[in-house]
Structure 1
């Protein structure tokens, strides 16, 4: 099996000046990884070079997570900034809107504006507000209603942990950097997004909006191994929300963002339709070249049953979901 001819990636971050990148969590990150901060701010030669090095034809850009939820004016200005960057590089970039989820009506309006005025292909939202609030309460549902109306997905991305949660849930007799790792990419981020999706299901969101499209990253945010248990549980029988696996098959798409493990992808494919699984890098926290090597490994080991399925993972599924204009690919 040959490697895919190119890739499309969609969990790829940038810093937008109108929204910023300065909160305590990130200020500590920048001390350790200043080069990442600079990469997040670049929309030109450095970003394009990274794309080319990984054979990525088109990248969907989103604001750095954890910065947008409480900043309506910043979101609007930042989305306009992003649209200008996209316009300078036709065919290489697309955009996910940043939304002020603390104000759901304004967030819904901004989603509609950016899709209609700028051609954005959806939104990427922080998984929770700064105080940990998820979006299963009905006051947040106008955002999901707008997404269904526009037929664009909402990408739910992990949010930086609060100082309180770092202290109460993840600290212990180990270095602070280890606590941060447990709270974020090693466990806590994924646990929290998985919990959130199950809460949305339990609240009846997907019954209310049956055509809603949600994207989650990191090979499914720990959910795949729990799907059969969720379906077999009697706890949801009183909620009249159906089977979780039906929601998984109908409403959820999953990216590989930041995870380049063949065996984890194989586990994901055991419980997920192949057309619902999408390739991503997690720029700039990973280099696109690393993603290219992963695609080459998948081809060599024939993880997918056909060339069409592998190409779908690399780019075709994203093109169809986001209705992207990519030469030579039917959207």
Structure 2
């Protein structure tokens, strides 16, 4: 069973990995930094062990939001790494989302000149600003025009946000877990999708393609409750699309970082099978863990053989025009 994965991170010199968040990550997870900086033998060996035929590289999120020149240089560096092994790697661009017009121009360059398949961007700016304001929409306009997806990736919260919302009577590591992968990341990306819908982004750009990870960032459980609330029903009546239409037509969901068959079954109940994409989250997760998850989906008969192939690689192949 081959696989294509598309939330798989790498560090390149122009953006690097030198900030407080990653300096802490490398201490907690020794060895991951070396994997992030490798685009050769180490990465390929892990891919082979997990039956990953193609990996869509993305830059480490949380860096370069305000620096167009660094994003451009890092995207060019990534393109060279892809050119060295084009049968195994593809690319998502980094964009300076705090400078939306520059971000839109760089997305156009990365797709048309470098051959990238879209962009993976931080879920918010450093002050927690989301992209529902119209000043960010030039990026969505270019993405729709070029027919490439934007992947909204969880981002580190500022210290004040962490202290106010997640600090408590427990160790610092638990606080950071709540801020990130145990809760904060997921609810914030889910909120962002709802804000984009409420702001009319999917009315203005009806063919826009957005990818989110973690089996839907908590939205699958909340989706039908949101849809039946009066103010969302009123919006749906006035628009071409309800939030459920947007989920079916504009949102793709990866399994990245979540390897639970039970959770997958919940996602499956509310999500079209052609909108579900397998991903791993390398180097923070191993491709062999991802392979074991696909094998468990197969052995549990959660999916038919055809559906399993769709999730493992066919949906990504179609979405990214690989």
Structure 1 and Structure 2 fold alike (TM over 0.5): yes
TM-fit CA distance, 1:34: 3.0
TM-fit CA distance, 1:237: 4.4
Find out whether 1:125 has 2:121 as its counterpart: yes
Divergent runs of 4+, >3 A: 237-242
SS at match of 1:10: strand
Query: 2:233 and 2:263 mapped to 1: Cα distance?
Result: 31
Query: 1:287 and 1:7 mapped to 2: Cα distance?
Result: 14
Query: 2:148 and 2:288 mapped to 1: Cα distance?
Result: 29
SS at match of 2:211: strand
Find out whether 1:214 has 2:210 as its counterpart: yes
SS at match of 2:310: helix
Partner of 1:203: 199
- Comparing 270-279 with 20-29, greater Cα deviation is found at 20-29
Equivalent positions of 1:1-331 (< 5 A) are 5-239=1-235, 240-241=238-239, 242-304=241-303, 306-324=304-322
TM-fit CA distance, 1:31: 2.0
SS at match of 1:147: helix
- Mark the runs of 5 or more structure 2 residues left unpaired by the alignment: none
Query: 1:76 and 1:54 mapped to 2: Cα distance?
Result: 31
Query: 2:115 and 2:147 mapped to 1: Cα distance?
Result: 12
Query: 2:233 and 2:211 mapped to 1: Cα distance?
Result: 26
Query: 1:45 and 1:83 mapped to 2: Cα distance?
Result: 18
Contact 1:254 1:278 in 2 (8 A): yes
Query: 1:278 and 1:238 mapped to 2: Cα distance?
Result: 32
Query: 2:204 and 2:165 mapped to 1: Cα distance?
Result: 34
TM-fit CA distance, 1:236: 2.6
SS at match of 1:226: helix
SS at match of 2:189: helix
CA RMSD of aligned residues (A): 0.9
SS at match of 1:34: coil
Contact 2:227 2:233 in 1 (8 A): no
Query: 2:64 and 2:210 mapped to 1: Cα distance?
Result: 19
TM-score computed with the length of structure 1 as normaliser: 0.95
- Mark the runs of 5 or more structure 1 residues left unpaired by the alignment: 325-331
TM-score computed with the length of structure 2 as normaliser: 0.97
TM-fit CA distance, 1:17: 1.2
Report the count of equivalent residues. 319
- Comparing 67-76 with 136-145, greater Cα deviation is found at 67-76
